[in-house]
Amino acid sequence: MRTLIRNGRVVDPSQGLDGFVDLLLEDGEVAVIGERLEAPQQTEVVDATGLVVAPGFIDIHVHLREPGQEYKETVRTGTMAAAAGGFTAVCCMANTVPVNDHRSITEHIRGEAERHGFARVYPIGAVSKGLDGKQMAEIGEMAAAGAVAISDDGKPVMDAELMRRAMLYAQHYGLPVVQHAEDLSLSGGGVMHEGLTSARLGLPGIPGSAEDVMVARDLILLEDTGGRYHVAHISTARSLALVRAAKQRGLPATCEVTPHHLLLTDEEVAATGFSTACKMKPPLRSAADREAMLAGLADGTVDAIASDHAPHHPDEKDESFHNAPNGIVGLETTVPLCLDRLVRPGIISLSRLVELLACGPARVMNLPTGTLRVGSPADVTLLSLEERFRVEPTSFRSKGRSTPFGGLELQGRAAGTFLDGRRVALEEGRRPG
Amino acid sequence: MSVRWQRKDLLGIAELSRQEIELVLDTAESFAEVALRPIKKVPTLRGKTVLNLFFEASTRTRSSFEIAEKRLSADNLNFSSSGSALEKGESLVDTALNLQAMAPDLIVIRHAHPGVPHMLAKRLKAGVINAGDGAHEHPTQALLDAFTIRQRKGRIEGLKVAIVGDLEHSRVLRSNLHLLKKLGAEVVLAGPRTMMPVGVAAFEVPFFYSIEEALEGADVVMMLRAQLERMSRPLFPTVKEYFKLFALTRERLRLAKADAVVMHPGPMNRGVEIASDVADGERSVILEQVTNGVAVRMAVLYLCSGMQGEAA
């Protein structure tokens, strides 16, 4: 099985490449990169004229909801959304029902992905059994079954001793510890960022310090333990400054930021009249925080853009702002939003975006993908920088519909993905091969 | 009255114009007189159905709405959340749609969560009147406060109004801020640091961390309830200490103008945020507020029913 992708602009920061070259994919690997390649016999030729060819994008923060909450999302619908949005791989969080805290759940998720997946699925195992923050989960067993990281995401690891031990223990398996950084005693019953808008609306606030205190604590622990630490959905200027300083000291800390924290602020809650599409954790932050996130993209502090795709049933989001569950979908909007709102205005270059969506995520999660180097897995994302479209939540592949970006007119989107060298066919409703 | 009321809902003061606020107050003037009649009833809303939907406990506001509805000859029905379908797992939206199916003309809603009346108003044909949504708005309270100030002082423009107490959790504060600023009063705030919203600057009025500074030269002192039920969070150590730090006492009231009036939206905690002798004293208009509440709510019900111009 061979595929030749021709005439595209190949952007692969992992090898400092940005130019018009062809790409031959063979037996699931990148076989040759070069100018004007001839197609060997029995090769599918893809004309990528006018398109960007990038290493397959990886969303390292996704909730697939399976097992247990298939009414919200399944491995099938979630990876379909991923493929439609331009991702060839996702890392899925452990807060399923039951929790992905032991090998059989990890294997189940991997099995579903093998059977129904439209993208690679890398499960993230729980730090603690049942996400209860007390007893360590069987991290080694989950790693053996394919878990690429550990996290209690959805909940923070509040107990400092558990965090310290997890950072130590995870090193046996080379896994990063991913923290949902939120000190629950500070966030309390808050439902939005604590600031000017929460004061106006009378909604209980979540102070930025709830995140900062946790990141600061974890970085201190990291300094003692070694190991690798990753801050999920970082959202405050101060947390980001802490990570920046830690990196400068040489600590193995990384972080990701979501498109909504890059593009929206807490004012959106007021502007939309309490729309539950603006309710998530961490909450949409202040304008100064947003500015800091953008600066972090540009100066390299941020390692990855991740969607925190957190689908809920539409009925669940059709509630009071207070009672609605946290989370919005993002797999199908992340790439277009980044192209239209970050690359087009020149906040970051296209090459930097590819770094944030492919190379960086692969580095954080120790994945073999995120590059088009010869010999790498042949996962490719095609982008059209010109196509204009309107975000229509009703046509999402995801079962989730809640997004603050519905109705936006955007320019630029994914034009297809290749997995193991084969084009992912969404139209036929089945995975390739 | 030159202004016409165009709204089906009264969700907050934030979206009202000064003219609309004055229209409600002027309309309330004409309804206030009904309470003085031997037969306290007018036929204004005869044949109209009003649902009082209280998802959060209330005595004063609910009774006030009920009396206002009865004095306007509306048919009314009370619905409270305990023992209701909501406790049986029905969603908020479904409850509202079911009630809508019974074709009420107006629904008065109180809910512990900000934005719920706004959310339901978008889906309901009936007019929605916000009777308090969390710490967000309580428009009829601000209107009755304004009515009371106007009655006592003859105006609102140019008065100095000190609002004191638990600012963070107060819907009364937020509605009053909108209203008093729109009507040209000078508002100052004071509260303990632990009960001051971090984003207090959003209110765009001076604020102090001592009651004394706010009272200086005030024409109106509006005390807010210290929400004792919030003591589970570390906001203040004891009632005794709150009283010493922030209660309105006779001595402190001397800092205000000699003819300053004292207001409180109730329910009042005597000996916590207000000393009994002040609450019962000659400067207190607290019970007048309650009386005026009925007339103001009659005005709001009447205007939101769309009957303005049909009969007056």
Work out whether strand A205-206 and strand A149-151 pair parallel, antiparallel, or are unpaired. unpaired
Catalytic residues of A: 308
Q: Is B88 a catalytic residue?
A: yes
B83 pLDDT tier (thresholds 50, 70, 90): low
DSSP B183-194: TT-EEEEE--GG
Q: Judge whether residue B226 has pLDDT over 80.
A: yes
Q: Compute the average pLDDT of residues A129-152.
A: 98
pLDDT of residue B232: 65
In whole angstroms, give the CA distance from residue B291 to residue A346.
62
Contacts of A158 (CB under 8 A, 6+ apart): A133, A183, A184
- Which chain B residues are Cβ-neighbours of A315 within 8 angstroms? 91
Omega into A282 within 30° of 0, i.e. cis?
yes
pLDDT of residue B230: 62
CB count in 10 Å sphere of residue A359: 23
Q: Judge whether residue A137 has pLDDT over 70.
A: yes
- N- to C-terminal Cα separation, chain B: 11
- Note whether A322 contacts B233, CB cutoff 8 Å: no
- Which chain A residues are Cβ-neighbours of B200 within 8 angstroms? 199
Q: Could you report the predicted ipTM of this complex, rounded to two decimals?
A: 0.94
How many Cα atoms sit within 13 Å of A49 on the Cβ side? 3
| Residue showing tokens 């999302």 | A73
Q: What angle do CA A62, A65, A66 make, to 5 degrees?
A: 120
Q: Judge whether residue A201 has pLDDT over 70.
A: yes
Q: Judge whether residue A433 has pLDDT over 70.
A: no
CA of A202 to nearest chain B CA: how many angstroms apart?
4
Q: What are phi and psi of A317, to 5 degrees?
A: -80, -15
Classify residue B34 by its DSSP letter.
G
CB count in 10 Å sphere of residue B212: 11
Residue B85 identity (one-letter amino acid): A
In whole angstroms, give the CA distance from residue A163 to residue A137.
12
- Which chain B residues are Cβ-neighbours of A203 within 8 angstroms? 114, 134-136
**Which stretches of B31-115 are assigned E, i.e. beta strand?**
49-54, 75-80, 106-111
Is the CB of residue A250 less than 8 Å away from at least one CB of chain B? no
Is the CB of residue A274 less than 8 Å away from at least one CB of chain B? yes
Q: What angle do CA A11, A12, A17 make, to 5 degrees?
A: 80
Q: Compute the average pLDDT of residues B58-67.
A: 94
CB A229 within 8 A of CB A176: yes
pLDDT of residue B187: 98
CB A207 within 8 A of CB A191: no
In A, minimum Cα distance to B171 occurs at: A202
Contacts of A250 (CB under 8 A, 6+ apart): none
CA of B231 to nearest chain A CA: how many angstroms apart?
14
Indicate the residue of A195, A198, A323 with minimum beta-carbon distance to B113. A323
B67 pLDDT tier (thresholds 50, 70, 90): very high
DSSP A78-123: HHHHHHHHTEEEEEE-S-SSS-S-SHHHHHHHHHHHHHH-SSEEEE
Mean of all residue pLDDT scores within chain B: 93
Q: Compute the average pLDDT of residues B170-183.
A: 98
DSSP bridge pairs for B163: B189, B222
pLDDT of residue B89: 76
Residue B201 identity (one-letter amino acid): A
In whole angstroms, give the CA distance from residue A51 to residue A71.
36
CB count in 10 Å sphere of residue B79: 17
Q: Compute the average pLDDT of residues B131-142.
A: 97
Interface of B with A in 155-194 (CB under 8 A): 168-169, 171, 174
Contacts of B102 (CB under 8 A, 6+ apart): B49, B51
CB count in 10 Å sphere of residue A223: 14
In whole angstroms, give the CA distance from residue A229 to residue B166.
41
CA of A192 to nearest chain B CA: how many angstroms apart?
12
CA of A274 to nearest chain B CA: how many angstroms apart?
6
Distances in Å between the Cα of B45 and the Cα atoms of B68, B305, B308 are: 10, 8, 11
Q: Compute the average pLDDT of residues B18-29.
A: 97
In B, minimum Cα distance to A208 occurs at: B198
B90 pLDDT tier (thresholds 50, 70, 90): confident
- Note whether A322 contacts B203, CB cutoff 8 Å: no
Omega into A67 within 30° of 0, i.e. cis?
yes
What percent of chain B clears pLDDT 90, i.e. is strictly above it?
Answer: 83
CB B73 within 8 A of CB B45: yes
Distances in Å between the Cα of A423 and the Cα atoms of A2, A386, A387, A418 are: 11, 21, 20, 4
In whole angstroms, give the CA distance from residue A135 to residue B58.
45
B270 pLDDT tier (thresholds 50, 70, 90): very high
Residue A158 identity (one-letter amino acid): M
Q: Judge whether residue B57 has pLDDT over 70.
A: yes
CB A131 within 8 A of CB A162: no
In A, minimum Cα distance to B92 occurs at: A319
Q: Judge whether residue A77 has pLDDT over 90.
A: yes
Residue B102 identity (one-letter amino acid): M
Q: Compute the average pLDDT of residues A135-154.
A: 98
Q: What is the pLDDT of residues B279-305, one digit of tens each?
A: 999 999 999 999 999 999 999 999 999
pLDDT of residue B79: 84
Is the CB of residue A386 less than 8 Å away from at least one CB of chain B? no
What percent of chain A clears pLDDT 90, i.e. is strictly above it?
Answer: 97
Q: What is the pLDDT of residues A215-250, one digit of tens each?
A: 999 999 999 999 999 999 999 999 999 999 999 999
- Which chain B residues are Cβ-neighbours of A200 within 8 angstroms? 174, 199, 202-203
pLDDT of residue B86: 62
In A, minimum Cα distance to B11 occurs at: A273
pLDDT of residue B3: 81
pLDDT of residue B305: 95
Distance of CA B145 to the CA centre of its chain: 7
Mean of all residue pLDDT scores within chain A: 97
- Note whether B200 contacts A321, CB cutoff 8 Å: no
B311 pLDDT tier (thresholds 50, 70, 90): very low
Indicate the residue of A202, A205, A207 with minimum beta-carbon distance to B136. A202
| Residue showing tokens 């100052």 | B188
In B, minimum Cα distance to A206 occurs at: B198
What percent of chain A clears pLDDT 70, i.e. is strictly above it?
Answer: 98
* Active-site residue, from B8, B48, B118, B138: B138
Which pairs count as long-range contacts for B275-278, CB under 8 Å and 24+ apart, including other chains?
B275/B243, B275/B247, B275/B248, B275/B249, B275/B250, B277/B250, B278/B248, B278/B249, B278/B250, B278/B253
In whole angstroms, give the CA distance from residue B58 to residue A391.
43
Q: Is B110 a catalytic residue?
A: yes
Angle between helices A209-225 and A237-248 (to 10 degrees): 20
Distances in Å between the Cα of A402 and the Cα atoms of A131, A325, A406 are: 25, 11, 8
Contacts of A231 (CB under 8 A, 6+ apart): A178, A179, A181, A215, A218, A239, A243, A253, A254, A255, A256
Classify residue A212 by its DSSP letter.
H
CA of A367 to nearest chain B CA: how many angstroms apart?
43
- Which chain B residues are Cβ-neighbours of A319 within 8 angstroms? 91-93
In whole angstroms, give the CA distance from residue A230 to residue A243.
9
* Active-site residue, from B71, B110, B111, B252: B110
Q: Compute the average pLDDT of residues A374-388.
A: 98
Is the CB of residue B35 less than 8 Å away from at least one CB of chain A? no
CB count in 10 Å sphere of residue B156: 23
Is the CB of residue B229 less than 8 Å away from at least one CB of chain A? no
pLDDT of residue B312: 44
Q: What are phi and psi of A380, to 5 degrees?
A: -135, 140
Distance of CA B287 to the CA centre of its chain: 14
Q: Judge whether residue B199 has pLDDT over 50.
A: yes
Q: Judge whether residue A431 has pLDDT over 90.
A: no
CA of B3 to nearest chain A CA: how many angstroms apart?
27
Q: What is the pLDDT of residues A5-45, one digit of tens each?
A: 999 999 999 999 999 999 999 999 999 999 999 999 999 99
B309 pLDDT tier (thresholds 50, 70, 90): low
Verdict on whether the full-model pTM lies above 0.90: yes
CB count in 10 Å sphere of residue A34: 11
pLDDT of residue B236: 86
Residue B27 identity (one-letter amino acid): T
CB A38 within 8 A of CB A22: no
H or E segment and range at residue A422: strand A422-423
Is the CB of residue A197 less than 8 Å away from at least one CB of chain B? yes
CB A109 within 8 A of CB A122: no
A325 pLDDT tier (thresholds 50, 70, 90): very high
Q: What is the pLDDT of residues A252-289, one digit of tens each?
A: 999 999 999 999 999 999 999 999 999 999 999 999 99
Interface of B with A in 134-153 (CB under 8 A): 134-137
